Structure 1
């Protein structure tokens, strides 16, 4: 289906309009949660737990359809591609010749947006200029956090390449983005920095304050992404005529900075972790998992799924 190109200032109204429509027709199925703030290592982690009422309602309705889009919390990867074809009731906008914007069908965070390649590309391929261009079209339209789960061990639940954005603030109280509570202590060495309070391998870089919708912003972000990969020791590997990173990773993107974290595990004691965990937002399915988070501490959960810090980092 042909859609008019996205005009500046129209994406957020389109998200609101399509959300209302998708809720009304049942295409959008939000996951109801309760929230807790758990302070750890100076970060006020936001932990969302599926509400008991939501579980009762799910049991009453029976199993969901198989054509799901579970990209807000890691799950078993489905052989069904929910993006080819995509559900038109979840369509928000054409972002470019290569990417479209869809609502996340089973969203934990309101107005969770997926940036999906029109043609199939593997989620495990390296990001390219077209990916960042589509991302920054969205970041120019509203205050949001972009994130990417680079591979199954990084929390990716779909094989089809998709970037994601959630609006800020992440919670009604506390900082708009919890991880920013410790970013004031970043130690820069040239272009790349480290955060002393993060007990796992990572790299952060700051972006120039160029207009997010400009081609310069996308190119700068791409160059920064490659520098971050180099800083944590990830290299490009050719596979099936495509370039893949040498290990899974998570990436957080804002118009001001980017943070990249290599991964080794997808979950800890049954708790799945995706890129939002490194932003300070975790998701648990029940009280037992919430107790695990409280016992271990959110930062220890992140440390266990990431790569241990090198002494002196």
Structure 2
């Protein structure tokens, strides 16, 4: 059973209510972590060390051990009703992330199957900003397995801000402030990996159709600027290479990717926001030895 999209100002209370219900019935299965910080290259990185991954590992092992020829289960078709927060128009559903590391981690999922390798389109941005209009959050996208995508069904993600303490709400913000732009797109001097940065117009409000159009145009420009131009697959635009995308309230950062892990540390889009996850003490030591920014650079292109 899905619910209508909440009225203005009511989405965040709806997320909190559904989170409590999902926890009570066992549908939501948080992964416990301990947070540390590492100062590196002008950023205070948040590094969460997983203290319990047994439940997620069990679920992954069950899926991966299925007999040859078994069709992989799509957790979004059908989705678990206990994780559904609301409908977002006719095209998307807002879900709680079942195995969340950050509280109130949300998924903006297409109602019908679309591949994660398809480009983010206007409807996706419209759905994303309908949510970001109601609370302060960071949208992000993992474009392909090499970029940290674990599901082939198209979905954007949102985490509430701040990402943690101490420091700014978003660790990368101090570097983003120094971005060099020309005609709305450019680079962030402090980021030592291939990327493209852009700002988009939010003067009419986050939930205005004009904002989604502006964001979509910015995204397409960043794909070209970062060397990830779209390709045609059966008449639909797809990505030509893996990438991560961060979508803040008025800017985007797009990072082409080369590998999913660096010395065992998995990197997804949140890494480029300044938030890394490590599975154990050994990976924490690796992050400290290399420095988080070097981890990101080696995962990029």
Specify which of 126, 129, 132 is matched with residue 133 of structure 1: 126
Q: Counterpart of 1:21 in 2: which secondary structure?
A: helix
* Paired position in structure 2 for 1:75: none
Q: Counterpart of 2:125 in 1: which secondary structure?
A: helix
Specify which of 252, 256, 259 is matched with residue 262 of structure 1: 256
For the 8 Å contact 2:201–2:215, the answer to whether it is kept is no
Alpha-carbon offset, residue 156 of structure 1: 0.2
Deviations 1:15-47 (A, max 9, x none): 000000000000000000001110110010000
Alpha-carbon offset, residue 270 of structure 1: 1.1
* Paired position in structure 1 for 2:230: 236
**Number of aligned residues:** 293
For the 8 Å contact 1:67–1:81, the answer to whether it is kept is no
Q: TM-score, normalised by structure 1?
A: 0.90
Within 5 A, what are the aligned runs for 1:217-232?
A: 217-232=211-226
Moved more, 144-153 or 166-175: 166-175
For the 8 Å contact 1:66–1:80, the answer to whether it is kept is no
Deviations 1:237-287 (A, max 9, x none): 112332211111000001211110111111111111000000000000000
* Paired position in structure 2 for 1:12: 12
Moved more, 160-169 or 193-202: 193-202
For the 8 Å contact 1:6–1:95, the answer to whether it is kept is no
Residue 155 (1) aligns with residue 148 (2): yes
Within 2, Cα distance between the matches of 1:140 and 1:290?
35
For the 8 Å contact 2:3–2:85, the answer to whether it is kept is no
Specify which of 83, 86, 99 is matched with residue 93 of structure 1: 86
Alpha-carbon offset, residue 181 of structure 1: 1.7
Specify which of 184, 189, 197 is matched with residue 182 of structure 2: 189
Within 5 A, what are the aligned runs for 1:36-47?
A: 36-47=36-47
Alpha-carbon offset, residue 8 of structure 1: 1.6
Q: Counterpart of 2:153 in 1: which secondary structure?
A: coil
Structure 1 residue ranges, 4+ long, deviating more than 6 angstroms after superposition: 65-68
Within 2, Cα distance between the matches of 1:101 and 1:37?
31
Alpha-carbon offset, residue 63 of structure 1: 3.3
Deviations 1:160-192 (A, max 9, x none): 000000000000322110000211221112221
Alpha-carbon offset, residue 155 of structure 1: 0.5
Alpha-carbon offset, residue 65 of structure 1: 8.0
Task: Quickly say closer, same or farther: Cα 1:279–1:167, change in 2 above 3 A.
Answer: same
Q: TM-score, normalised by structure 2?
A: 0.93
Alpha-carbon offset, residue 79 of structure 1: 2.4
Specify which of 104, 107, 114 is matched with residue 107 of structure 2: 114
Alpha-carbon offset, residue 288 of structure 1: 0.4
RMSD: 1.8
* Paired position in structure 2 for 1:73: none
